Amino acid sequence: MEFKFGGSEINQRTVLGHPSGLFVLFFTEMWERFSYYGMRALLVLFLIASLTGENEGWGWERADATILYGWYIGLVYLTPIIGGIIADKITGYRNAVVIGALIMTLGHASMALEVFVDIFFWIGLVMLIIGNGMFKPNISSIVGQLYKDQGKEKDAGYTIFYMGINAGAFLGILLCGYIGENVGWHYGFGLAGVFMFFGMLQFYFAQKIFGKIGLSPSKSEDFDDAMEESVEDTQEAVADVMDEAKRSKVTRDRLIVIGIFALFTTFFWWAFEQAGSSMTIFANDYTDRALVGNAALTFKVINAIITVVPLLVISWVLALLFKQTFGHYALSNVFLGTSFVIIWGIVIWMLVREFQSDTTEVAASWFSVLNSLFIIIFAPMFSKLWQSKINPSGPIKFAIGLILVGVGFAALAYGSMDIPLGAKTASVSMIWLILAFLFHTLGELCLSPVGLSYVSKLAPVRLVGLMFGVWFISNFLAGVIGGWTASYMDPILEEHGLATFFLIFTLIPAGAGVIMLLINKVLIRMMHGIR
């Protein structure tokens, strides 16, 4: 009997019209993103926290903290290139996911033990970077192999998977940030590792649902087909070479367009990734986060709603998955269910604790939650917009994304105008950070999905892997340069003011967006029919 979806017979059982295995991957990815974004929310705050007090940090200078953050973010984008090669040649995708998840779990455990010996922090950070490299590219590859066609079902499957990413990011920032800031940094680091561990276990004990998908090439049920396709690809490559006199200009032009997109996306992520460095510092030291009376109650209610409603939806999806798979993968479901019991316990504890308090101080890390929240709210609208007649070209979308991220920083610059030169603290309204995250997210929705899509469309088949590598290198550069730029926050603040610092991130991305608008027609022509 021929199956509709890839994988085992159990994988043919559907949840929301998709194979059950998709949701095994959904929850695995959700906990990994919980781990990553929880760590991302805490890193700079921990490093700059005072050496004295109830919640001691390392007391680093802001410049040193942002540079380390930049290298961490950058390397997280670089190691997946290596992890993908290892999975392709040696381990297979599934083993790579388990190995990566285990390494990240140990990394979080090591960082939690920093309270005893400082070296554990550095060991943990390295393990998180390495583990991410093994995990991140390979779980996405398994998603693609669940579907036998390249149509709307596969696109919808990736959309659901993307929702898992944002759900994990949302919960990770919210809970790790809250516990890290209010209970202890080490508990925040450790919590991220707990759910990474549960994610690994639920994946490991349910992986037979994928059949032979994601095993090493020699064990894949598609091995013979792959060999046959490899021969065909070789024949096509020879034909391509013979036809290069005709095609070299088209190929060259399209590769140049990819290079231009990679360059301009560097400007975007260079600014966007300030969320975990300079914007986190702005939230921590320059934003009035203390709420009293009706303002405090309003925030508590809103925070409860935006926390509980998504968690209820995800728990409902969990119940649907249990219904289809518990009889065959009970142990996996037990681990997954246990993780949700723990997460609900933490959420209820947090909300009760907040409602019992007479005053509220919004956690500095909380503002990063807004990115995931705004994606969940606005992504469906953008999806409809891109499917309508009002669907601009790729370069125009890039331009809009760059300009919007600049507008977000313009809001921060305006809000910072009254902060005195050299001030170490201030009490600026929260509205400016909220507006910044809103515009940054709208910009992300314009630019981020477009970039990878154009790489896959414009690159010749034989160069797709290389071009994705180039793309990830641009993200690496954006992270490292972004951290280095953020390290100049204090010198610029002392001589010119914080508004000037944020104007740098206004003018450069917006200027890049204007340039992209001006070269739109040239790029369209160089894409030679690719839309």
Of 197, 228, 259, the position where a domain reaches its end is: 228
The larger pLDDT score, comparing residue 388 to residue 23, is at: 23
Confirm if 16 and 10 have CB atoms less than 8 A apart: no
Residue 234 has pLDDT above 60, yes or no: no
Residue 220 has pLDDT above 80, yes or no: no
Predicted pLDDT at 223 = 37
User: How far is CA 390 from its chain centroid?
Assistant: 28
Classify residue 478: in a domain, yes or no: yes
Classify residue 356: in a domain, yes or no: no
133 and 267 inside one domain: no
268 and 219 inside one domain: no
Predicted pLDDT at 54 = 83
The larger pLDDT score, comparing residue 233 to residue 107, is at: 107
All residues at 6 or more sequence positions from 250 whose CB lies less than 8 Å from its CB, including other chains: 528
Residue 171 has pLDDT above 70, yes or no: yes
Residue 476 CA to residue 470 CA, distance in Å, equals: 10
**Mean pLDDT for the chain?**
88
Residue 495 has pLDDT above 90, yes or no: yes
Classify residue 273: in a domain, yes or no: yes
Classify residue 4: in a domain, yes or no: no
Q: What does the pLDDT average to over 31-53?
A: 91
Q: Is the dihedral of CA 250, 254, 257, 263 positive or negative?
A: negative
Residue 181 CA to residue 354 CA, distance in Å, equals: 14
504 and 415 inside one domain: yes
Predicted pLDDT at 354 = 92
- Which stretch, 87-101, 165-179, 252-266, 490-504, has highest mean pLDDT? 490-504
pLDDT band for position 228 (cuts 50, 70, 90): very low
Task: Say whether pTM exceeds 0.85.
Answer: yes
Measured torsion, CA atoms of residues 334, 339, 341, 347, in degrees rounded to the nearest 10 = -170
pLDDT band for position 153 (cuts 50, 70, 90): confident
Predicted pLDDT at 152 = 65
Residue 69 has pLDDT above 60, yes or no: yes
30 and 133 inside one domain: yes
Residue 27 CA to residue 317 CA, distance in Å, equals: 10
Confirm if 401 and 268 have CB atoms less than 8 A apart: yes
Residue 419 has pLDDT above 80, yes or no: yes
Tens digit of each residue's pLDDT (9 = 90 or more) over 323-343: 999 999 999 999 999 999 999
215 and 253 inside one domain: no
Confirm if 447 and 401 have CB atoms less than 8 A apart: yes
Question: What's the one-letter identity of residue 195?
Answer: F
Predicted pLDDT at 6 = 86
Total domains, the chain: 2
Predicted pLDDT at 368 = 92
Predicted pLDDT at 108 = 94
387 and 516 inside one domain: yes
Any idea which residue has 């009293």 for tokens?
292
Which helix (DSSP H) or strand (DSSP E) does residue 126 occupy?
A: helix 119-145
Classify residue 357: in a domain, yes or no: no
Classify residue 86: in a domain, yes or no: yes
Tens digit of each residue's pLDDT (9 = 90 or more) over 430-489: 999 999 999 999 999 888 877 777 877 788 877 776 777 788 889 999 999 999 999 999
Provide the domain limits for residue 50: 20-228
34 and 67 inside one domain: yes
Confirm if 73 and 278 have CB atoms less than 8 A apart: no
The DSSP output letter for 359 is S
53 and 171 inside one domain: yes
Q: What is the CATH number of the domain that holds 414?
A: 1.20.1250.20
Residue 71 has pLDDT above 90, yes or no: yes
Residue 149 has pLDDT above 70, yes or no: no
SS3 per residue for 236-304:
HHHHHHHCHHHHHHHHHHHHHHHHHHHHHHHHHHHHHHHHHCHHHHHHHHCECCEECHHHHHHHHHHHH
443 and 515 inside one domain: yes
Q: What does the pLDDT average to over 422-427?
A: 94
Range list of H helices, 357-497: 369-387, 394-415, 431-458, 464-486, 489-495
pLDDT band for position 236 (cuts 50, 70, 90): low
Confirm if 482 and 269 have CB atoms less than 8 A apart: yes
Tens digit of each residue's pLDDT (9 = 90 or more) over 97-146: 999 999 999 999 999 998 888 899 999 999 999 999 999 888 887 887 88
Predicted pLDDT at 240 = 52
DSSP string, 2-30: --SBSS-SGGGSEETTEEHHHHHHHHHHH
Give percent of the chain with pLDDT exceeding 90.
64
Predicted pLDDT at 20 = 93
Predicted pLDDT at 246 = 54
Classify residue 50: in a domain, yes or no: yes
Q: What does the pLDDT average to over 262-285?
A: 95
Classify residue 8: in a domain, yes or no: no
105 and 199 inside one domain: yes
439 and 502 inside one domain: yes
430 and 473 inside one domain: yes
